[in-house]
Amino acid sequence: MKNRLTQKTKNIIGEKRYKKLRSQIHMGLLAINSRFFPTLAKIGKIYQTDKVYHSFSGLSYLDIYEKYFDQFRGKKISLLEIGVKDAASLRSWKSYFKKGNIYGIDIDPSCKELEEPRIQIEIGSQDDEELLRNCFGSDKKFDIIIDDGSHVNKMTLASFNILFNQRLKNRGIYIIEDLGCSYEKLQTDYNVLAIWPGMKYNDPVKSYDNDRKDMDTFFLENIERLDHQIGNILSIHFYSMTCVITKI
Ligand SMILES: C[S@@+](CC[C@H](N)C(=O)[O-])C[C@H]1O[C@@H](n2cnc3c(N)ncnc32)[C@H](O)[C@@H]1O
């Protein structure tokens, strides 16, 4: 049927004009697609999330995430991000997932004011077990969880242990960002409690110096479990500074 139509069109307008028309239609479709379904990187630039500027070898976080997020586009998904700041990333997710509900956790109380339709925010620390278990309703499960909070290893792991196991759906995606920080003595060398946005709300008595061994142990134990076909991790993909973990 398609072949007959093609042949008929070619007979009427000629081979050369047919090729030109076909390429014009193709270009038009691409333009419509990018107008109505812009890439995640394009959206991130509009909302000015710094995820668009973290890049290695020409690939930003958002270019990487889009490979995983594309399957959820157009669906009524739930995405939770730890670390709201000015809501630039939450707004990017909201724009990309037109039917999605976006949830944020941040320790800075002023973040609560950034709520808007389809964006809900709860205030608290990412190592507060009660918050992690109950935020947005204990029955709520998420398709995607992103940790862009304190980047303090112990907190990153506390969040993962509860959120991945109890709050992420099967086949869900969990992202741990900015792994470069996991090697750093964040407080001693960078004074992060005073310098990084929102960090001053953390308990000054706790330690904010990272020991990379904590993350290495966590990753190695889970890789071993994966190799022995136990546990609930399906894959761990490492990229520069970020890591994408999927659930069975
Ligand atoms: C890098 S910013 C988030 C940026 C945002 N995700 C974006 O891409 O636009 C980190 C945020 O983590 C928050 N934060 C720091 N310590 C935290 C903690 N213990 N629990 C939850 N959030 C924390 C800070 O208040 C800050 O807003």
Domain boundary assignment for the chain: 1-36, 38-247
Residue of 26, 54, 151, 228 with catalytic role: 151
Q: Which residue in this structure is represented by tokens 């014009």?
A: 24
Please indicate whether residue 52, judged by its CB atom, sits closer than 6 Å to ligand 1.
no
d(CA 121, CA 85): 11
Are the C-beta atoms of residues 168 and 145 closer than 8 Å to each other? yes
Asked which of 23-27, 71-75, 125-129, 213-217 is least confident by mean pLDDT, the reply is 23-27
Give the list of residues 6+ apart from residue 182 with CB closer than 8 angstroms, or none.
151, 153, 156, 210, 212, 214, 215
Note if the pTM is more than 0.75. Answer: yes
pLDDT tens figures, 185-200:
999 999 999 999 999 9
Are the C-beta atoms of residues 247 and 170 closer than 8 Å to each other? yes
Asked which of 4-18, 35-49, 187-201 is least confident by mean pLDDT, the reply is 4-18
* 54 in catalytic set: no
- Given the candidates 3.65.10.10, 3.40.50.150, 1.10.287.3510, 3.40.50.1820, the CATH classification of the domain at 38-247 is 3.40.50.150
Question: Which mutation among 95, 111, 112, 150 tests ligand 1's pocket best, with the greatest number of atoms within 8 A of CB?
Answer: 150
